[in-house]
Amino acid sequence: MKILRTPDKCFENMRDYPFEPNYTTIETKDGSDLRIHHIDEGPTDGPILIAMHGQPVWSYLYSKMIPFLTDAGIRVIAPDLPGYGKSDKPATREDYSYQNQVDWMTDWLMANDFKNATFFGQDWGGLIGLRVVANEPDRFDKVSMGNTGLPYNPEAPQEVLDKIMAFRESSLKLTPFSMSKEVKKMDGKSLSKDNSKNHPALKFMYWQKFCWDTNDLPMGFLMSQMMEKNSKFNSLFYYLFITLGLGKFYPFKSNVAKAYEAPFPDPSYKMGPRAMPSHVPSIPDQSLEAQKKAREFFKRWDKPFLSVFAGDDPVTNGIERDVLEMCPNAKSASHIGGGHFYQWTRPKELSNLLINFINTTGE
């Protein structure tokens, strides 16, 4: 396996991320060494929270939450998934299967021998992390998650499948704006619904196609648009630089934009964020049996489980119903808003929910 490693200099002078790196090397199925990064903050004897990010972000997403959590006496472990942040980045599309990510992060967990932990995951951090919990349940005392799930779609109308395949293979060129317009139309219906006209996969496919077709995915621009308030003029001016191939030279980048560009010195490092959206099992795929097994596991989960959704994220609004059906023992927290990346936009509110969850016996 060809593996790339982002030079340390790319992360120099980064604002709001004063955390010491920790590295764990695991062995992949083909015998390659894969180095996975995580941060470890807070008291060493405090209750452990393993906080897992999604696509296309990295552990920087938790930097606003960490002071709230550590001040409450919680030890925060936040890894970077392979392909993201300071972790190594396999270089080919085929490396980034759903199963590979689950296997890699399970090996990382076991190598560090984390125990008696609370898990929190969002986006791909939930899809991968919930499967890790199902693999190693004795290492976790509690589970929390939000804006994510364990989608299981053993059937989909052939009409939907045909439309998605044709769309993926089409020559349509998407921009961040045309893609976002369609994704925002997701109506909150569960991914498990058999609906050939309004099936969520028919909107999510715009994100999948945009990510894969965009060789130099503009990570800083995308995350700034999703996580910050930008004027229309600033957004268009920034995107103009990108279309001219000058995105890295845009003079008015925010710290957020810089942080999400840092892991990717050139397009060859971006295969993870480009490839992973296509592995979200919104339609039947090779993950079916593993998803079914994990969902059956959570049907029997009798430890505390907290569902924490923003409630205003069009991509995941409808998934909470499926999560609560999947895990009858789950309890639902009040929606806190903040959109898809609410770790950044609602850090205090989300931290307080997790602090109370961790510190409350039997809940």
The full 3-state SS of 73-102, as one line of letters, equals CCEEEEECCCCCCCCCEECCHHHCCHHHHH
Band of residue 283 on the pLDDT scale cut at 50, 70, 90: confident
Write the pLDDT tens digit of every residue in 316-354: 988 999 999 999 999 999 999 999 999 999 999 999 999
How far, in Å, CA of 112 to CA of 165, rounded?
A: 41
Predicted pLDDT of residue 191: 47
Band of residue 189 on the pLDDT scale cut at 50, 70, 90: low
**CA distances in angstroms from 177 to 96, 142, 182, 329, listed in the order given:** 26, 39, 9, 40
Q: Is 362's pLDDT higher than 90? A: no
- The residues annotated with a catalytic role in the active site are 123, 313, 340
Amino acid symbol at 340: H
Supply the mean pLDDT for the chain. 94
Predicted pLDDT of residue 190: 43
Cα of 341 vs its chain's centroid, Å: 9
**CA distances in angstroms from 264 to 7, 39, 254, listed in the order given:** 9, 19, 17
Cα of 129 vs its chain's centroid, Å: 10
Predicted pLDDT of residue 153: 85
Write the pLDDT tens digit of every residue in 67-102: 999 999 999 999 999 999 999 999 999 999 999 999
The token pair at 65 is 């939450």
Q: Is 21's pLDDT higher than 70? A: yes
Nearest to 358 by CA among 65, 101, 126, 24: 65
Read off the pLDDT of each residue in 231-241 and give the average, rounded to a whole number: 93
Cα of 18 vs its chain's centroid, Å: 22
Three-state DSSP class for residue 274: helix
Write the pLDDT tens digit of every residue in 285-312: 889 999 999 999 999 999 999 999 999 9
**CA distances in angstroms from 360 to 47, 141, 142, 242, 357, listed in the order given:** 12, 12, 11, 48, 5
DSSP 227-253: HS---HHHHHHHHHHHHTT-GGG-TT-
Write the pLDDT tens digit of every residue in 103-155: 999 999 999 999 999 999 999 999 999 999 999 999 999 999 999 999 998 88
Q: Is 233's pLDDT higher than 50? A: yes
Identify whether the C-beta of residue 113 lies closer than 8 Å to the C-beta of residue 69: no
Nearest to 36 by CA among 1, 75, 83: 83
Q: Which residues contact 152 (CB under 8 A, 6 or more apart)?
A: 192, 281, 288, 291, 292, 295
Predicted pLDDT of residue 45: 96
Band of residue 363 on the pLDDT scale cut at 50, 70, 90: low
Predicted pLDDT of residue 284: 81
Q: Is 196's pLDDT higher than 80? A: no
Predicted pLDDT of residue 154: 86
The token pair at 269 is 């490092």
Predicted pLDDT of residue 163: 93
Amino acid symbol at 249: F
Identify whether the C-beta of residue 354 lies closer than 8 Å to the C-beta of residue 69: yes
Predicted pLDDT of residue 192: 44
DSSP 306-340: EE---S--TTTTTHHHHHHHH-TT-EEPPP----T
Read off the pLDDT of each residue in 170-199 and give the average, rounded to a whole number: 79
Predicted pLDDT of residue 318: 84
Helices and strands per DSSP (H, E), number in the chain: 14, 10
CB atoms within 10 A of CB 43: 10
Bond preceding residue 79 cis, omega within 30 of 0: no
| Every domain range in the chain assigned CATH 3.40.50.1820 | 3-152+286-359
Q: Which helix (H) or strand (E) holds 219?
A: helix 219-227
The single-letter DSSP state of residue 47 is: P
Nearest to 123 by CA among 65, 196, 207: 207
Could you tell me which CATH class the domain 3-152+286-359 is placed in?
alpha beta
Predicted pLDDT of residue 155: 83
How far, in Å, CA of 212 to CA of 9, rounded?
A: 27
Cα of 198 vs its chain's centroid, Å: 24
Predicted pLDDT of residue 238: 95
Band of residue 157 on the pLDDT scale cut at 50, 70, 90: confident
Where in 103-255 does DSSP place strands (E)?
Answer: 117-122, 140-146
